[in-house]
Amino acid sequence: MSPREWNEIDEDSKREVIKYLDYESRCNLKLCSKHDYRVVNSTKFIASKIKIHETVSQFKDDKTIIRIDIDTFTIWFIGREEITRIDRGLNGELNERLSEIKQINRYDLLREFMDQFSYNSVFTAGMVEVDSLKLCPSPNWKFNFHGLSLVDVPDYRTWLRQLNSGLKSLHVGGDGEYTIREEISRMTITESLNLYKCIDVRDKDLRRVTATNLRIYMGEITAEWVKKAIKNYLENGKRKDEFNVKLLFEEKQYDPFLFIPESLVIQINEERSNEKRLCGEIIGGFRNTHGIQTNRYISIVGYSSILEISCGIL
């Protein structure tokens, strides 16, 4: 079969090719013709990783910089009030030839930009990290991500409400306290969960969580949930997974064995342990599905009003 020119290929075949292009290549193809512009826009785009980070200017408090990294492509929206400078680049390096200034608010431009790579108002991506962004998602947006990280995001509950229920990883936290009970209770999280000061989360809100890489700081979870989570971590965790949970507790009620599955065989390190600290090594009592039978350390420490439970590979 002889090679064919791009303009001789039917639209369905072009879309199959476009699916494999990164964001930069898709943008370049859109510039080739009106037909290519239309075909690219009608082809669903799935980025492997997206980062959105907003920072305040060092010189003017009402001026912010919104940086978006989509795979290797980077775009900045820099401005205050109704004036915005748009910069573009690759791998985080600015290309000044692509810079422009618009008399439009940066948040409006950001909404327009995000609409460009949505498909029927649905944003599909692998891992998405959002840091300090003040933009509230549009009501019609829906998010279909493998993983989501929200750090210091004021409208974190809106992001979570419009997010798909099946995730590999979720990270929510930052300064202040967070309430996500309603949103997380509908979610299935299979690999990694990191909740920082999500104070209202209870055992039953995490019933669909099977993640083995766990970091939870505060919350209303009980010793029984921790015990089951440790068992799941030991039996199903991968080599790089870690287990770290911090809870509020009363010092006079310190009993580390409330958090340890009865089936485990533990060798306690007497030198490092005391009435408010248990340090030891898990030497048996579990079988890992990935064949990782390496001994694990376990540490349960009470200090002030915090109880920290940690477990990991030695």
Return d(Cα 123, Cα 166) in angstroms, integer. 14
Summarize the confidence of residues 53-74 as an average pLDDT: 88
Query: Which 8-state DSSP code applies to residue 232?
Result: H
pLDDT band at 206 (very low <50, low <70, confident <90, very high): very high
Nearest in space to 150 (alpha carbons), one of 165, 133, 135? 133
Q: Is the pLDDT of residue 181 over 90?
A: yes
The pLDDT score that the predictor gives to residue 223 is: 93
pLDDT in tens, 214-227: 999 988 999 999 99
Q: Is the pLDDT of residue 213 over 90?
A: yes
Q: Is the pLDDT of residue 232 over 80?
A: yes
The SS3 assignment for 90 reads: strand
Query: Which 8-state DSSP code applies to residue 239?
Result: T
pLDDT band at 92 (very low <50, low <70, confident <90, very high): confident
Environment class of residue 18 by beta-carbon count within 10 Å: exposed (0-12), middle (13-18) or buried (19+)? buried
Q: Is the pLDDT of residue 239 over 90?
A: yes
Summarize the confidence of residues 107-123 as an average pLDDT: 87
Per the CB < 8 A criterion, the answer to whether 198 and 227 are in contact is no
pLDDT band at 40 (very low <50, low <70, confident <90, very high): confident
pLDDT band at 270 (very low <50, low <70, confident <90, very high): very high
Q: What residues have CB less than 8 Å from 199, skipping those under 6 apart?
A: 177, 178, 179, 218, 219, 220
What mean pLDDT is reported for the chain? 91
Q: Is the pLDDT of residue 84 over 60?
A: yes
The pLDDT score that the predictor gives to residue 3 is: 58
pLDDT band at 67 (very low <50, low <70, confident <90, very high): very high
CB half-sphere exposure, 80, CA atoms < 13 A: 9
Q: Is the pLDDT of residue 1 over 60?
A: no
pLDDT in tens, 271-288: 999 999 999 999 999 999
Tokens 């600290």, residue?
277
User: Which has the higher per-residue pLDDT, 109 or 32?
Assistant: 109
Q: pTM, whole model, 2 decimals?
A: 0.88
